[in-house]
Amino acid sequence: MIDILLNTSTTERRAALRENGRVTEIFVERPDENRIAGNIYKGRVKDVLPGMQAAFVDIGREKNGFLYRDELIGYKQKQEPLEEKEKRSISEFITEGQTVLVQVLKEEFGKKGARLTENVSLSGKYTVYLPDGGYTGISKKMKEENREGWRTWAESQLREEEGVIIRTVCEHLDVDIVAADIDYLRADWKEILTLAAKTHTPGLVVHGGGIVEQLLRDYSMDDIHQITADYFPAVQQLKRMFRFEEKDTKKVVHYQGRENLFSAEGIEKEMERALKPNVWLKNGGFLVIEKTEALTVIDVNTGRYTGGSDLMETVRRTNLEAAAETAAQLRLRDISGMVVIDFIDMKNDSHKEEVIQELKKALKHDRTTTNVAGMSPLGLVEMTRKKVRRGVEDLLLETCSGCRGTGRRISAETLAYQAERYIHECRDMESDALVIELPKRVYDWLQTDGSFLLDTWRARYAFAIFTISGLSDRDIVIRYTGSKTEARRRKEVLEKQHEARD
């Protein structure tokens, strides 16, 4: 069973997924992150590249989006043998200057623009509606004897080129409930088309939603045990969404503790561990996870685990545990792209196959697409994990200037949001002011790029907030709470002390 924890009471919105007591996924959303996956845009084709079977589309952002031929509705709906269809050029289906309605499949990364599709999908509680998909999909998790009946029923509900995917949760539902879900999404699509007609080109038509909406689209409420939220408006929003399902409404819990929800539930420590290169295994072995520009390397070590007298068995057990933990870490850290796993060398082919199967089995719990290529004679396993959003490390860390870019540290921005959570825990105090000491790089960030956050604090909290630049690179300390006059005096004294020590 799944528990979702929503820490959205401050500017940085965070969510954690906990399965059977273990944190398996972490999501972070910031004001400047501007996630666009799932967004629908009205764009204009800027360039068609037949050699790449793709087109660049201006969607009103700094980088043009990338639209492959196979993601064009005209290509998808072309009725001819696949062998002949694949010979066709993208130029037959799209032209420069053409206006297109597209949805973002993948976020922008580095110099790459967003990956787009014309095959828009709208997610509901029970189905995924594809306005021009021309495809009927039934969850493979359903029992085989039920899948064909649902397929026949679903096809009878579709009009023209519509498509639909029936979720697992539908297996034992009344068809009227599922039909109502399709009708709801169909009405949404009509509204989107109306909005698109009024939207200037290029421009955003519909926002895909934040982390809360994303989690509720990706997971069935039947699999969710509880949703705990620390922000009352979020609790109200969730209960409105589930107002027709009383059993789901009861799963929403409002956390009212003074301590930050993630601290109270141990999520903060999990996030800290997810930023460290070493991961200890239960048997005493450990993984070393190192990210480079081109790929992520995971090295498996026996560490303190010596096993019994059989070396082969010791290696086998360590590699099996490492395979399961590797899959968990890829998901927790949201590592994507090429991954190379250096398992401890095994001579026995059956042991190698057992480790590969254990890795594949563990990866089945990952919603993100993965592909395992197999094991080389040296014990190296190559695999890929689809890139959908920025990983936890990329989001929370920054390049360390002190070591000329060879290492990384917690970013000033991340620490600023941590400081906000400390301030938020003082929200009910009766004092008129607060003095908080910040690392110099955090203090400087708040005076420049993060000035909007200082403005947010001043508007949100009734007490005055005095910030001072400290000497530590990491520590955040609330130095005083009390009267405004004394807070101002303490600030001046501390600043002079720091100047004298600097």
DSSP H/E element including 456: helix 451-460
In the predicted structure, residue 136 carries a pLDDT above the cut 90:
yes
- Minimum mean pLDDT range among 113-122, 129-138, 244-253, 291-300: 244-253
- Minimum mean pLDDT range among 56-60, 239-243, 446-450: 239-243
Greater pLDDT, 385 or 392: 385
51-60 mean pLDDT: 95
Evaluate the CA torsion angle 226, 231, 237, 239 in order and state its sign.
Answer: positive
SS3 274: coil
Instruction: Note the pLDDT of residue 37.
Output: 83
CA separation (Å) from 454 to 84, 392, 411, 457, 467?
60, 24, 17, 5, 10
**Edge-to-edge strand list for the sheet holding 477-482:** 464-470, 433-439, 477-482
91 Cβ contact partners less than 8 Å away, ≥ 6 residues apart: 48, 50
Burial of 143 (0-12, 13-18, 19+ CB in 10 A): exposed
The rounded distance, in Å, linking the Cα atoms of 388 and 406 is 26
Q: What is the pLDDT of residues 459-489, one digit of tens each?
A: 999 999 999 999 888 899 999 999 999 999 9
In the predicted structure, residue 379 carries a pLDDT above the cut 70:
yes
Instruction: Note the pLDDT of residue 155.
Output: 93
The rounded distance, in Å, linking the Cα atoms of 470 and 444 is 11
Q: What is the pLDDT of residues 271-310, one digit of tens each?
A: 999 999 999 998 888 999 998 878 999 999 887 766 556 7
CA separation (Å) from 154 to 163, 164, 178, 402?
9, 7, 9, 60
353-362 mean pLDDT: 95
Residue 302: phi, psi to the nearest 5? -75, -25
In the predicted structure, residue 52 carries a pLDDT above the cut 70:
yes
In the predicted structure, residue 396 carries a pLDDT above the cut 90:
no
Greater pLDDT, 183 or 212: 183
Greater pLDDT, 18 or 108: 18
In the predicted structure, residue 32 carries a pLDDT above the cut 70:
no
What mean pLDDT, rounded, does the chain reach?
Answer: 89
Residue whose token pair is 């589930």: 242
Instruction: Note the pLDDT of residue 408.
Output: 82
178-188 mean pLDDT: 90
99-123 mean pLDDT: 90
Instruction: Note the pLDDT of residue 293.
Output: 78
In the predicted structure, residue 213 carries a pLDDT above the cut 80:
no
| Contact present, 6 and 234 (Cβ < 8 Å) | yes
Q: What is the pLDDT of residues 314-327, one digit of tens each?
A: 889 999 999 999 99
Q: Supply 297's token pair.
A: 């390397």
Confidence class for position 455, pLDDT limits 50, 70, 90: very high
Instruction: Note the pLDDT of residue 306.
Output: 61
CA separation (Å) from 94 to 44, 91, 105, 120?
11, 5, 19, 17
In the predicted structure, residue 404 carries a pLDDT above the cut 60:
no
The rounded distance, in Å, linking the Cα atoms of 473 and 10 is 23
In the predicted structure, residue 73 carries a pLDDT above the cut 80:
yes
* pTM (2 d.p.): 0.72
Instruction: Note the pLDDT of residue 403.
Output: 61
> At CA 86, angle to CA 84 and CA 92, rounded to 5?
95
